[in-house]
Chain A
Amino acid sequence: MGAAPRTVKLMYFAWVRERVGTASEEVVLPAGVTTVADLKAWLAARGTGYEAAFVKPGVIRAAIDRRHVQETASIEGAGEIAFFPPVTGG
């Protein structure tokens, strides 16, 4: 097979950004990470800041290419994936 490495831009906002320690980054997705939930679990294991950010993964919302998505959404073909707390505008 030898599929090409999948690179994706990740963005973090509000307290997720503060805990992770960066606003955005490019990552190469490992094989097997195919959904939003998979990506959260993989990120949570990347280090202390990520662990603190994703300790309660169900609380964190996600968007793919600037549209809200559910936990089960596929990240196949995504260019930009964002993670953030529930929104509090208005």
Chain B
Amino acid sequence: MAVRVGPDDFDIGAEVKALTAGRTDIGAVVTFTGTVRGEGSGRPITAMELEHYPGMTEAELVRVEREACERWPLLASLVVHRVGPLRPGDNIVLVIAASAHRQAAFEAAEFMMDYLKTKAPFWKKEAVAGEAARWVDARDEDDAAAERWNRKASGPSR
């Protein structure tokens, strides 16, 4: 179980390899990678800046990961989130969930992303060609995605 926040890019293959090295109890590894889209509201995005709240960001990600571990029988997990200047196509976020069986890994990875999106203190600022950079608005869909886990009777897969 680990979280990492910083400007550096990540290598998905290397992260999975490190997380599962020497493990024979893991039977399912799910990874989610979020990347920078080159388009927003129909206009081309030239650059993105990710601001965060050092200290609280890591604490929130640890809380999200801990909650996932309480809900599903995870054997390993990792959350990596980049900050600072990014460009279209760049990696932003990586979530890995590993379990004995696939359903727990799938669900835990989705849960961690949904919770991260509404709880972890990150803010995106997009630069659109020929315009002043602007802060990205939060989406109601993200709140709804996180909220459904409160209603769902989640638990170990079968």
Contacts and interface: CB of A to CB of B under 8 A. Distances in A.
Interface residues of A, number: 16
Contacts of A14: 51, 123, 125, 135
Interface stretch (B6-14, B70-78, B110-118): B110-118
Contacts of A15: 135
Interface in B85-132: 92-93, 113, 116-125
Given A14-B135, A15-B135, A66-B59, A88 B122 contact: yes
Interface residues of B, number: 28
B121 A84 contact: yes
Chain B, interface SS category: mixed
A88 B124 CA distance: 6
A89 B135 CA distance: 11
B56 A85 contact: no
Contacts of B50: 89
A90 B93 contact: yes
Given A84-B121, A89-B93, A90-B117, A13 B138 contact: no
Contacts of B123: 13-14, 84-85, 87-89
A11 B81 contact: no
21 contacts: A11-B53, A13-B52, A13-B121, A14-B123, A15-B135, A63-B53, A63-B121, A66-B53, A66-B55, A82-B121, A86-B138, A87-B120, A87-B121, A87-B123, A88-B122, A88-B138, A89-B81, A89-B124, A90-B92, A90-B113, A90-B122
Interface of A: 11, 13-15, 63, 66-68, 82, 84-90
